Each structure stands twice: as C-alpha cells, then as structure tokens.
Amino acid sequence: MKKKIVANGVHNYTAPEEYQPPRSRQVQEHLEWFMGLKLGFMMHWAPGSQLGTYESWPLSDGDAAWSQEDFTWADPEVCKQQYWEANKTFNPVKFDAASWAQLAKDCGFKYLLFTTKHHDGFCMFDTDTTDYKITAPDCPFHTHSDADVVGALYREFRKQGMAISTYFSKPDWHSPYYWAPQFGTAPTRNVNYDISQHPDLWEKYVQFTHQQIRELCTNYGKIDVLWLDGGWVRPDNLDQDIRLGEIVEEIRSTTQPHLIVCERTCGGEYENFITPEKTVPDTALTVPWETCTTVGQKFSFHYTDVFKTGRQLVHLLLEIVSKGGNLALNIPPQPDGLLPAPAVRSLREMGAWLKIFGEGIYETHICAPYWEDSLFYTRKEDSVYGFYAYDEMPELPDKLTLHLQEQVLGAESMRTGQKIKFRQEGDGVTLNLSEIAMGGAFYAEGFKLTVAR
C-alpha cells in the first residue's frame, strides 16, 4: 500500500532506491558541495506565530483532528479567521537579521533554510503576485527598514559566508486559484475544484506559482537550493501538475545553472536530495539526504515548547552525519522577532562542541561501520574520525576499540591534541585512552586516525 505523503503534518520521504541523480553536471557538483555543509539553520516564521499554534495546518479542516488542538479560545471558524488576519497585527520590531546570522555562524551552521512562504500563502518576501505579504500596507511591519524579511536574511547570512536554501510551499491556501472561494470551503489540503473541469483556473495557479519562484530565484541573488514543500501537489494526485520542470529549467538556463531542487517526496529529476522529517534513516545512505527536525517539539513557535539540550543536538548531529546526511535544524522565531532563549542556549552549546570537533563533521563522508553502540564514524581523505558519545557524565574507558578495515598509521585526541597509543589486530583498532586529560570533556569525544590510502 502506498504510504501517505503527509501524516499529522509530517512528510514521509522517497525511498533511497528510487533516487535519481540530477542530469546536469553543474548541479551534481553543487550538490556534492552542499552535502559537505552538514548543518543548516532552519526557521518557520509567519504572522500566525502570534497565536502560538501550528503554522498553516489549522486552516485545513481535513487535518483538524490534530492541527486544531490549540484552537481553544473560540470556535474553530473564529480562530481560523483570526489566523488569516494575523498579518494585520504582525510587527516583530525586535527582528535583527544580522544577529540571527551571527548566531548561526557562531553555532557552526553553514546554510540557511527559511520559509519564504508556507501553505497559508503568506509571503515573507516582496512579491508582485499578492498583497498577502510582509511588505503590504496592512502589515504594521511594512515600514521597517528590513520589512522584506527574506531579503534581509539572505543579505546577512551571505555576509557570514553561508549558503541559501529557499523553502517554498507549492500549495497556497490563500490563493483564489487553489482554494477557489466560488467552490465553497476546502474539505482537504488539496485543490478544492476539479482541475479537468476548470483547466483555465489551474493554469492561473501554475503561472502564479512560477512567478513567485521566478522572483525568489531572480531578485535575491544566488540561491543554492530550491526546497519545495507540499508533496501532495503533484501530477498523480488530482492532476495537480504545476509543471515544475518548466520554471526550474528556465532558472537554470539563465541566472542559476547550479540550482539544486528538492521537490520533497515526488521523486524524479527534481528531487535532488531526499528529506526525512523528524526522523533519521535506520541505515547509512549513499544518496544525498537531509533530515529536517526541530530544536524543540514544533516547527512553528509555541509558547509552551520544550527544547532539546546541547548534548542531544550533538548526538543527533553525529547520528545523521555518520549515516551520510545533512541536518536542517529548525528554531522557531518568536512573534516579536527574537529567538527563544532556551533554544539559543542549546545551539550555543552545540556550537561550542563544533568549534573543537567540526573537522570531523564538515565535508566528511560515510565510513564503515558507520556507527556502533556509542561510536560514530566519518571520513575525509586519509583521516577517519571516531566519536564516542558520552552519557550525562563524560567518562572514557581506558581502552576503546574502533572497527576499521584500513591500516591505521597514527591516532590523536581532537580535543587535547595528545597522541594516542594504539594496537591494530584485524579490523579492530584499540586506543589506549588512560592518559587522555578529561578536563573540558563534554557531550562526545573525538579521535582522529590517520589511515593508509
């Protein structure tokens, strides 16, 4: 039986064996570079954050059973209307794009993944296609010098040397060409009319969507990834064909020949990497992939969210990188423009660890046996990195055996720089750790092994 594309707002992901590599050599090379970045700073932010509920999903009655659980202050229809009109009170005066970019840099992130538009259709960029946008006169924030939030973020994150991944929702529930008001309410997240009966209306939606993608990939400088959410908008589901290839090839033939495209869950030549959501594959994968997950429990801002610790984030990163993936880690901005302090604290803790051990994370590849017990492996050229994940208290065994096929020529502690004595027998490399200084150890220890090439 075919898996559901989305369950409770969480996407499944394309089976690795169905992956198709991009045909363009430029895209292939850029994808290889992108997969070396390993850590992305992801953010879901829009006017609905003021309500402290799921982003967009409560608007879909077909998803009401789980998504409207926060609608407790009024009738659901009243709550939905207040959500739709939240743009009229959205004024995040504490927004500071430069401080967000500096935080990301300090914490070891290498790229930005920002929601330019979620399913609710509100544009966090300056578009000519709709007035439902951050720069419109009915949004109080439109007078701010950085009212074009996407432009401000892309400018500041690029200053910090980071790549840009552009999140864009294929469905747009605010568009009169998708949830068309003349056909009544929309019973599900899908288009609310029969496309075969109204092809002209659907064509307007296709052109609307193409123009927004064109704006994002033309008006905002170099885009490294076009990250497309809403996998139910696809030709084999109610004929919802936005003819993605047309606009992608137009962009690649003009301003962005390197453009990586991630059409989530749809497979084929425009899903250049696969995207597990809030999960990590059971095994190491040889195809490009990126897990998107949260520092807290939710992607959008909730006043009662609970956030992972720095140790949990480091262990999550180790699991993902040892299996060959990237981690897009979502932090939800507050309605006032600040980032939640507990989440920032955890990111800084992870960043402190990466300052010491990042060499074994960035630009690495998978290395058998990938992981075992508390050990995680990565590789870069003639170096293999072994990481030992600590429990709450950092404590190393006197001897630790790593399993490698390669001949080991030398070993050292990444944290202290101490040379480590070792013995290699078969595929076992036993490190003598009795003399490693433990002062300053936290979350996970890293060992660099030089191997024969």
pLDDT by residue (tens digit) across 104-121? 999 999 999 999 999 999
- Exposed e or buried b per residue across 160-194, where buried means at least 16 C-beta atoms within 10 angstroms of its C-beta: bebbbbbbbbbbbbbbebbbbeeeeebeebbbbbe
Domain boundary among 340, 360, 380: 360
Statement to judge: residues 375 and 433 lie in one domain: yes
Residue 330 sits in the same domain as residue 379: no
pLDDT at 11 over 90: no
Within a domain: 133: yes
Q: Can you tell me the mean pLDDT for 98-103?
A: 98
Q: What is the mean pLDDT of the chain?
A: 97
| CB atoms inside a 10 Å sphere around CB 137 | 8
Closest C-alpha to 117, from 143, 147, 149: 149
Domain end call among 329, 360, 391: 360
pLDDT band, residue 145 (cuts 50/70/90): very high
Considering the domain architecture, whether residues 117 and 189 belong to the same structural domain is answered as yes
Same domain, 317 and 178: yes
1 within domain boundaries: no
* Gyration radius from the chain CA atoms: 23
Answer yes or no: is 286 within a domain: yes
- What pLDDT band is residue 4 in, cutting at 50, 70 and 90? confident
410 and 277 belong to one structural domain: no
d(CA 190, CA 230): 10
Please indicate, yes or no, whether residues 347 and 417 belong to a single structural domain of this protein. no
Q: What's the distance, CA 234 to chain centroid?
A: 21
Say if 247 falls within a structural domain.
Answer: yes
pLDDT band at residue 8, thresholds of 50, 70 and 90? Answer: confident
> Which residues are CB-contacts of 75 (< 8 A; sequence separation ≥ 6)?
none
Q: Assign residue 200 the CATH number of its domain.
A: 3.20.20.80
Which positions ≥6 away from 417 have C-beta within 8 Å? Answer: none
Domain that holds residue 281: 6-360
CB-CB contact of 2 with 255 (8 Å): no
Q: Measured in Å, how far apart are the chain's first and last C-alpha atoms?
A: 46
In a domain, 365, yes or no: no
What is the spatial distance between Cα 77 and Cα 74, in angstroms, rounded to a whole number? 8
Same domain, 294 and 411: no
- Of the residues 304, 330, 360, which one is the last residue of a structural domain? 360
pLDDT of residue 3: 59
Residue 277 located in a structural domain: yes
User: Are 272 and 261 spatial neighbours (Cβ–Cβ below 8 Å)?
Assistant: yes
Query: Within this chain, do residues 83 and 143 fall inside the same structural domain, yes or no?
Result: yes
Q: Does residue 315 sit in the same domain as residue 404?
A: no
Give percent of the chain above pLDDT 90: 97
> Is the model's pLDDT at 1 over the cut of 50?
no
**6 vs 358, residue with greater confidence:** 358
> Any idea how long the chain is?
453
Render 73-95 in DSSP notation, one character per residue: SS-HHHHHHHHHTGGGT---TT-
pLDDT recorded at residue 12? 80
Do residues 234 and 201 touch, judged by C-beta distance below 8 A?
no
Quick one: pLDDT band at residue 391, thresholds 50, 70, 90?
Answer: very high
User: For 250-287, how does the pLDDT look when each residue is reduced to its tens digit (9 = 90+)?
Assistant: 999 999 999 999 999 999 999 999 999 999 999 999 99
148 located within any domain: yes
Q: Are 290 and 281 in contact (CB under 8 A)?
A: no
Q: What average pLDDT does range 304-315 have in this prediction?
A: 98
- C-alpha 291/C-alpha 283 separation (Å) is 13
Q: Into how many domains does the chain fold?
A: 2
pLDDT higher than threshold 90 for residue 92? yes
Q: How confident is the model at residue 209 (pLDDT cuts 50, 70, 90)?
A: very high
Of 302, 298, 295, which Cα lies nearest the Cα of 50? 302
446 lies in the same domain as 329:
no
Residue 321 sits in the same domain as residue 388: no
CATH of the domain at 398: 2.60.40.1180
Question: Quick one: pLDDT at residue 53?
Answer: 97
Tell me what pLDDT residue 152 has. 98
| Residue the block writes with tokens 């984030």 | 313
User: Is residue 27 included in any domain, yes or no?
Assistant: yes
Note whether 162 and 277 are same-domain residues: yes
Residue 336 predicted with pLDDT over 90: yes
pLDDT score of 2 = 47
User: What is the pTM (predicted TM-score) of this model?
Assistant: 0.97
